[in-house]
A and B are shown apart, each in its own frame.
Chain A
Amino acid sequence: AQSVAQPEDQVNVAEGNPLTVKCTYSVSGNPYLFWYVQYPNRGLQFLLKYITGDNLVKGSYGFEAEFNKSQTSFHLKKPSALVSDSALYFCVVRDNQAGTALIFGKGTTLSVSS
């Protein structure tokens, strides 16, 4: 069965510092991986996706993610954090068994302090 794990409930980082939000996955077949962000009182927003190709994927708002097949990881990164990046981040895998639904991790709250 497809699943994703986000080992950290919360990540704290100072503004201007690099940030990493960790994710590992378990899939059968080719992984289709995504990161979504959820701001308070706003809907889920797509950040980036990995389908195939270059292991470093660039997305919205300066975020990027590195796909590592040997470690089955898909960590989200940003070189310099902003206070406005504070939000709930979800690592997501596409369900390859039925339909095209998304399977979400439990989420990691990113808190960027000024």
Chain B
Amino acid sequence: EAGVAQSPRYKIIEKRQSVAFWCNPISGHATLYWYQQILGQGPKLLIQFQNNGVVDDSQLPKDRFSAERLKGVDSTLKIQPAKLEDSAVYLCASSLTTGLSKTNEQFFGPGTRLTVL
């Protein structure tokens, strides 16, 4: 079974520039998550989608971050404009949920490492 795909794997930009990350979840997985992992910390949820709807975006800095999952499959996370503190690994995960089941395992992609100079 193919895993969660993410691209690019690495990205270096200057502050105030824009950047976008792409995620393709495991086929059939209804739930998709974006996490931010700052060096030395555990991942922190940014946004959760159920199909093409947002379930939780309470920790997404909406003044600069946006995410979409228009067709309920792949997803894009954008940062505009980037700040130095956005340097982190951005992880995408998916799970096979048809509702808000709390027991399903999340599968993680390899992540995109963003460096903001």
| Residues of A that sit less than 8 Å from B by CB | 32, 36, 41-46, 49, 51, 90, 92, 94-96, 98-107
CA distance A67 to B48 in the complex (A): 28
Contacts of A99 in B (CB 8 A): 45, 48, 50, 55-56, 100
User: Interface majority SS on A: helix, strand, loop or mixed?
Assistant: loop
User: How far is A101 from B48 in the complex, measured between Cα atoms in Å?
Assistant: 7
Which A residues lie within 8 Å of B31 (CB)? 100
Tell me whether chain B's interface is mostly helix, strand or loop, or mixed: loop
Q: Provide the bound-state CA to CA distance between A73 and B81, in Å.
A: 41
Nearest Cβ distance between residue B25 and chain A, in whole angstroms? 13
Q: Does B3 contact A (CB under 8 A)?
A: yes
Q: How large is the interface on B (under 10, 10 to 19, 20 to 34, 35 or more residues)?
A: 20 to 34
Q: Which residues of B contact A92 (CB under 8 A)?
A: 42
A-B contact pairs, 30 of them (CB 8 A): A32-B102, A41-B110, A43-B3, A43-B4, A43-B109, A43-B111, A44-B91, A44-B93, A46-B106, A49-B103, A51-B103, A95-B45, A96-B102, A98-B55, A98-B58, A99-B45, A99-B48, A99-B55, A100-B55, A100-B95, A100-B100, A100-B101, A101-B33, A101-B45, A101-B56, A104-B43, A104-B44, A105-B42, A106-B40, A107-B41
| Residue ID in chain A nearest B95 by CB atoms | A100
